[in-house]
Amino acid sequence: MNDKNMKKNSQPLSLHVPEPAGRPGDAPDFGHLVLDAAGAVERPEVGAKPYEMRDLAFGLIRVLDDAGEAVGPWNPRLDPETLRRGLKAMILTRAFDDRMHRAHRQGKTSFYMKCTGEEAIAVAQGMLLSREDMGFPTYRQQGLLIARGYPLVDMMNQIYSNAADPIKGRQLPIMYSAKDHGFFTISGNLGTQVPQAVGWAMASAYKGDDKIAISWIGDGATAEGDFHNALTFASVYRAPVILNVVNNQWAISSFMGIAGGLETTFASKAIGYGLPALRVDGNDFLAVWAATQWAEERARSNQGATVIELFTYRGAPHSTSDDPSRYRPGDEHDKWPLGDPIERLRQHLVLIGEWDDDRHAEALKAAVEQVRAAGKEAEAIGTLGQSRPSVKTMFEEVYATEDWRLVEQRREVGV
């Protein structure tokens, strides 16, 4: 056994399992975060080579400073009307979430997921891109539909699986599909949409079209192979696509370190694939807008894909089935150093004299009223179990044309 090829470790190895900074009962600790000051990060030319801009994968693009002033090279200089539209869409998204979360507690639906604290992301990106471009969302981009004026009542009909549900009672609540709003059908299987977005973008390039694609994935789901497949294809074929990673710190009870977020940033995953990466304050409407605009220009000028890490915090429970107080410090969200996206945009608008407390109160009231009106309309059609499409639809659209088995099975049900 004294083979030269058999080396003995002189020291016993030990298995490393990462742990978050705080658990229930601990004080929140964000010491590990690397946060650049607003305005501190350079803005490269849209055509910059990915290897020239690697620092951006480790910095943090921020526009709004603590006082609410827009500073630095990434300031997109939006007009007040656009800012107000963005603020109102974020307020409406939060009001919608609150009502639907309550509806779940009242037994009106089986499931709901809020995007509290992440509203700036889908709202800014949804406003910026055309609805001709295809969005490949995961389940926290309801703000995209809301910012684009998709009828709230249709969203609720889907959530209630009622007779007017646009997808006919088949899908889990919140798993919307809205093709004409640039909103791809949501899958419950994490990560699958990202390489599909790349494929859609490749098709647009192949056809000589001018549309681009945009996708979103959570920090946790970046561990899926699909994410890495997407980066390879996006890089190889220089696909006109924007690949967002929404790093909201938590994947149900697992902190972002379990997905590899302690060793490096999620943005930096792009580097090994030769893709440009931007790391962005996801609670800063202006920064999200500016970074997306940069990536959009790059895609539209046929220079390929960009990976954007949107750095944020999931304020609400993962879903209605989750209780975050069992795995993270209770007040972690309140202590989040990048604040609340709605409050920050509000502060900015007030600072530039384009908003005030009265208008804010009015906007809150209007949002609640709009949601309530849609709620009444949807509930008049029915909530889960009270109303639904014909059972016949269960057997339809499995295939494009009828299949004898399904015809027989439908008859067995008697519909």
Partner 1 sequence: MVDQNAAPASEATGAGIQPMNMIQALNSAIDVKMAEDPDVLSFGEDAGYFGGVFRVTDKLQQKHGLTRSFDAPISECGIVAAAIGMGAYGLRPVVEIQFADYIYPAYDQIVSEAAKMRYRSGGQFTSPITIRSPYGGGIFGGQTHSQSPESLFTHIAGLKVVIPSNPYDAKGLLTAAIEDDDPVVFFEPKRLYNGPFDGWHEKPVSPWKTQDLAQVPTGKYVEPIGKARVMREGNDVTILAYGTMVWVALAGAEHAGVDAEVIDLRSLVPLDIETIEASVKKTGRCVIVHEAPKTSGFGGELSALVQERCFYHLEAPVARVTGWDTPYPHAFEWEYFPGPQRVADALKSVMTGGR
Q: Residue numbers of the site for ligand TPP (CB under 6 A)?
A: 140, 188-190, 218-221, 248, 250-252, 314, 318
Give 295's contacts (C-beta < 8 A, 6+ positions apart): 242, 276, 278, 306, 308
Residue 230 found at the interface with partner 1 (CB under 8 A):
no
Of the candidate residues 76, 126, 195, 220, the single one contacting partner 1 (CB under 8 A): 220
Give 94's contacts (C-beta < 8 A, 6+ positions apart): 116, 119, 342, 367
335 contacts which partner out of ligand TPP, partner 1, none, CB within 5 to 8 A by kind?
none
- Pick the closest to residue 285 from 343, 335, 244 (CA basis): 343
Q: Please say which residue, 220 or 329, places its beta carbon nearer to partner 1.
A: 220
Closest approach of partner 1 to the CB of residue 42, in Å: 32
The sign of the dihedral angle between the CA atoms of 301, 306, 311, 316 is: positive
Q: Please say which residue, 163 or 172, places its beta carbon nearer to ligand TPP.
A: 172
| CA atoms of 125 and 143, how far apart (whole Å) | 9
Closest approach of partner 1 to the CB of residue 394, in Å: 4
Site string for partner 1, 332-371 (x = CB under 8 A): ----------------------------------------
Structure-token pair, residue 376: 């009444």
321 contacts which partner out of ligand TPP, partner 1, none, CB within 5 to 8 A by kind?
partner 1
**Span of 15-23, 129-137, 284-292, 349-357 interacting with partner 1 by CB under 8 A:** 15-23
Closest approach of partner 1 to the CB of residue 255, in Å: 8
Please, which residues bridge with residue 250 across strands? 255
Of the candidate residues 27, 80, 398, 411, the single one contacting partner 1 (CB under 8 A): 398
- Pick the closest to residue 90 from 333, 289, 341, 339 (CA basis): 341
Site string for partner 1, 79-118 (x = CB under 8 A): -------------------------------xx-------
Task: Tell me the three-class secondary structure of 351-366, residue by residue.
Answer: HCCCCCHHHHHHHHHH
H or E stretch at 213: strand 213-218
Pairing of strands 213-218, 134-136: parallel
CB atoms < 10 A from the CB of 310, how many?
30
Residue 23 found at the interface with partner 1 (CB under 8 A):
yes
CB atoms < 10 A from the CB of 106, how many?
8
Task: Catalog residues that contact partner 1 under the rule CB under 8 A.
Answer: 14-15, 17, 19, 23, 110-111, 161, 165, 169-173, 175, 187-191, 220-221, 223-226, 251-254, 258-260, 321, 326-327, 384, 388-389, 391, 394-395, 398, 403, 405-406, 409, 413
